[in-house]
Amino acid sequence: MATKNQASGGVSRQVLADHVYEALLVALMDGRLEAGTPVSIDGMARELDVSPTPVREALARLEATGMVRRAALRGYRVAPLFSPEELADLMDARLVIEPANAFMACKHADPQLPGQLEQAIEDLKAAPRGPSFAEFRAYWEADERFHRLIAESADNQFLLSAYNALGGQVQRFRFFGGLGVTDADYAISEHTEILKAFVAGNAELARQKMIDHIEGAKQRSQHDSEVRS
Amino acid sequence: MATKNQASGGVSRQVLADHVYEALLVALMDGRLEAGTPVSIDGMARELDVSPTPVREALARLEATGMVRRAALRGYRVAPLFSPEELADLMDARLVIEPANAFMACKHADPQLPGQLEQAIEDLKAAPRGPSFAEFRAYWEADERFHRLIAESADNQFLLSAYNALGGQVQRFRFFGGLGVTDADYAISEHTEILKAFVAGNAELARQKMIDHIEGAKQRSQHDSEVRS
DNA sequence: TAAGCGTAGATCCTATAGGAAATGCGATTC
DNA sequence: GAATCGCATTTCCTATAGGATCTACGCTTA
């Protein structure tokens, strides 16, 4: 996410910290690193066959996403999975931010946006939905891209930061580790409704459809939580 | 901000990275590190007489606040000051998040909250307002505490994260470097209005007063931007 | 005069080593 | 039997060193 490979070149010896970040992300999403597990800097360095320095930097970045937590002089631990209450809180927070994003993005009326949104929906339809992160990663990225496109088109870097900070956008998908994606059909349908509002240029409708979508996701996530427990 | 000193002990040998973080923060707020200036890891390490490792970690944390930006293999640079347009965007983002915080916080009706808010207002009145960060730091902290108390009382960790992510709460005050605080009287008055709504337990009024406050701050910040340019 | 190249310096990135603190376990004592 | 103390191991934190890359400056050449 935060890293981007430079366009020119090709191989472009990537920074090690990026590899470590990626490896930790996959491990977290697959559920291999369970909630509460301590993440030893030295240990992880041995496991990935690198020095502790890039591991330290990768963990510092991960901490900002909320995936791990740091206690001074005690190291990092994997953040706990969301409780149903926290998941509901996350959706409430999204209900504050994302409808506003949709409204503003629709106001700006970027002519390229509808096409990009449609592409994201198509990718969502095509993506596999298996239980391992390697499988549902494409789904996650398509879903994320849809919401991020809207957040970016709102053209307000701070709202974008706020959206990013929710982070739960990432964490939410940790639930799918070992389960697979469960709400694809609903999500595709609701995304399409939002797209329609954008095509029509109806900002107020876009806001409302976004509300509908997130409230739907909220209810479905509650159901998933109960299944898992 | 993000760091907390452990309660017991007292001296509690702080982590060096925290000192570096603090030093960089002060330098940024005072305007000693101007926008666009490269922040050399090795150079900063020499200047602060530490090794590059804690500097690297401090910069990684600062990057998450938006105060500095990192280009892979090229190091860090001080993020540019906000343009008037960006400042307006920041206020628009606050208008999305903070009124919702106020509404929810008032709904929760923590009996301790009004007293704490009043204390924050009193501190705001008492704080000096000079042009250097050392002088107006107390003011900044009292203002920050007022808004943060409300954000925390909303009792939704994600909205709190979103509020933190704005970060502009910090950056905004970079404008006061060399100028001093300019809108203290207005801020105190508006904060008091918000407090009244909390005391009355009127959530809808709290939301509205927060809107009034931020819109006021928006207009005043625009004025400051013009003065500075 | 302007453009291209090469070298020197600075900087980033990674690895390694060592001191300090924290955790865990066993022995001792009340 | 339970609690406390002490030691060993693990882990974090910081410093130092070296290789790789980028930047800047001066020189050569057309």
Q: How far is the alpha carbon of B130 from chain A, nearest alpha carbon, in Å?
A: 28
Q: Which residue is nearest to nucleotide C22 (CA to C1')?
A: A74
| C-alpha span between A54 and A7 (Å, rounded) | 23
* pLDDT(A137) > 60: yes
State the pLDDT confidence band at B60, using cuts at 50, 70 and 90: confident
Task: Report chain A's mean pLDDT, rounded to a whole number.
Answer: 85
Q: How far is the alpha carbon of B182 from chain A, nearest alpha carbon, in Å?
A: 23
| C-alpha span between A190 and A217 (Å, rounded) | 10
Mutate to test the interface with B, among A53, A107, A157, A161 (most CBs of B within 10 A): A161
Three-state DSSP state, A5? coil
Task: Report chain B's mean pLDDT, rounded to a whole number.
Answer: 85
Query: CA dist B100 to A206, B107, B166, Å?
Result: 20, 11, 15
First-to-last C-alpha distance (Å) of chain B: 30
| C-alpha span between B28 and B105 (Å, rounded) | 32
Show the DSSP H helices in chain A as ranges. Answer: 16-30, 41-48, 52-65, 84-108, 113-126, 133-153, 157-166, 168-171, 184-200, 203-228
* pLDDT(A150) > 90: yes
* pLDDT(A16) > 60: yes
Q: Measured between beta carbons, which residues in chain A are less than 8 angstroms from residue B3?
A: 72
- The integer distance in angstroms from the CA atom of B17 to the C1' atom of D14 is 10
Model confidence over A21-41: pLDDT tens digits?
A: 999 988 888 888 888 899 999
CA A196 to chain centre: 23
| Strand segments (E) across chain B | 38-39, 68-71, 75-78
Looking at residue B78, the DSSP 8-state letter turns out to be: E
CATH of domain A16-78: 1.10.10.10
Three-state DSSP state, B68? strand
Average pLDDT estimate for A139-159: 92
Three-state DSSP state, B101? helix
Model confidence over A170-187: pLDDT tens digits?
A: 665 666 666 667 889 999
Cβ–Cβ < 8 Å for B198, B153 = no
| C-alpha span between B19 and B107 (Å, rounded) | 39
CA quadruple A79, B65, B187, B178: dihedral sign: positive
A39 closest-nt by C1' vs CA: D11
Average pLDDT estimate for A163-172: 69
Percentage of residues in chain A having pLDDT higher than 90: 53
- pLDDT at position A13 is 46
Closest CA to B218 of B85, B97, B124, B35: B85
State the pLDDT confidence band at B203, using cuts at 50, 70 and 90: very high
Average pLDDT estimate for A133-159: 90
A76 touches strand D (CB under 7 A): yes
Indicate yes or no: CB of A57 within 8 angstroms of CB of B56: yes
* pLDDT(A3) > 50: no
Average pLDDT estimate for B32-51: 92
**Best mean pLDDT range from A188-192, B3-7, B161-165:** A188-192
* pLDDT(A161) > 50: yes
- pLDDT at position B196 is 98
| C-alpha span between B120 and B143 (Å, rounded) | 7
Model confidence over B68-111: pLDDT tens digits?
A: 998 888 899 998 877 888 888 989 999 999 999 999 999 998 99
Cβ–Cβ < 8 Å for A77, A39 = yes
Percentage of residues in chain A having pLDDT higher than 70: 86
Q: Domain-by-domain residue ranges, chain B?
A: 16-78, 84-228
Model confidence over B131-184: pLDDT tens digits?
A: 887 888 888 889 989 999 999 999 998 999 899 878 655 565 666 655 567 789
Lowest mean pLDDT among A65-69, B76-80, B184-188: A65-69
**What is the identity of the amino acid at A54?**
P
| C-alpha span between A138 and B3 (Å, rounded) | 36
Lowest mean pLDDT among B44-53, B177-186, B197-206: B177-186
B47 touches strand C (CB under 7 A): no
A54 touches strand C (CB under 7 A): yes
| C-alpha span between A120 and B23 (Å, rounded) | 44
Three-state DSSP state, B116? helix
* pLDDT(A205) > 90: yes
A178 touches strand D (CB under 7 A): no
Pick the CATH number of B84-228 from 3.40.50.2300, 3.50.50.60, 3.10.105.10, 1.20.120.530: 1.20.120.530
| Residue showing tokens 């407090």 | B195
Q: How many CA atoms lie within 13 A of B150 on its CB side?
A: 30
Lowest mean pLDDT among A96-105, A204-213, B78-87: B78-87
* pLDDT(A169) > 80: no
* pLDDT(A2) > 70: no
Average pLDDT estimate for B194-205: 97
Closest CA to A169 of B143, B162, B151: B162
Torsion of CA B96, B99, B105, B108, to 10 degrees: -90
